[in-house]
Amino acid sequence: MSARRKSPSSQQSALLRSPRILLALIVAVAILVAALMVVLSQLGSAGGSSASSEDVGKLYSGIPQNGTTLGKSTAPVTIYLYEDFQCPVCAQFSRKTFPEVVDRSVRGGEVKVVSEPLTFIGSDSVPAARAALAAGEQDRYWPYAQLLFENQGEENSGYVTDEFLKSQAENTPGLDVGEWSSDLKGSSITKQLQAAQSKAQSAGVNATPTLIFSGPGGQTKLVGLYDYEQISQAIAQVE
């Protein structure tokens, strides 16, 4: 009887049949898969939405801004956007739908948007809304508001600190931070904030985001998160 040598392929399959080798392989594959998922998650987050000051500058470039109004004053349709800077669905709307509304409906002069900042979620909503309104004094409300949504923290966790607000101001293109800081304390901001709350009350707004479309064809209302197609249907309804 002659001794048989194992062929390389049978040696390989013998190795794979060893539970220890297989377990080590599984651990290596699991680490690789998890690492790939983490990388994809980070890439998606960086490319997708964390708006830099350059991004917010680009979105609103060439579009007239007047206080909390975005778009040409002659636009036939006005969208009154009731939002709370602490509201996660508002942040989602700001990130997913709003850029398309700006590019496809506001830029061409068909629509103007008026933001009505509400403060019903809690104490952190007030300084956030005041800070955005103070940016509005320099007609930089919209980019500032977008940065607030992009950097939103957990509701009423105390994340809206003076440093947080100042850092958004520093990242807002074209905003004079010193002027913004002094406007922030002014009584004009308090009045604008109160006006938005009473407007919401008389319009029966009790959730955010609420969009009221107003135009020659009448009025319609959407509450919650909608995509651009649904927004454009509502615009067509009131045109």
Binding site for another protein (CB under 8 A): 19-20, 22-23, 26-27, 29-31, 33-34, 37-38, 40-41, 44-45, 48-50, 86, 88-89, 91-92, 95, 121, 152-157, 159, 224-226
Rounded-to-10 torsion of CA 67, 70, 74, 78: -100
We find the least distance from the C-beta atom of residue 194 to another protein, in angstroms, to be: 25
We find the least distance from the C-beta atom of residue 116 to another protein, in angstroms, to be: 20
Closest to another protein by CB, 157 or 194: 157
- 156: CB partners within 8 A, 6+ apart: 86, 121, 122, 123, 124
Q: Residue 229 pairs with which residues in a beta bridge? A: none
Burial of 228 (0-12, 13-18, 19+ CB in 10 A): middle
Closest to another protein by CB, 65 or 171: 171
Closest to another protein by CB, 159 or 176: 159
Task: Region of 7 please: left (phi>0), alpha (psi -120 to 50) or beta.
Answer: beta
Closest to another protein by CB, 92 or 197: 92
We find the least distance from the C-beta atom of residue 144 to another protein, in angstroms, to be: 19
Burial of 131 (0-12, 13-18, 19+ CB in 10 A): buried
We find the least distance from the C-beta atom of residue 204 to another protein, in angstroms, to be: 20
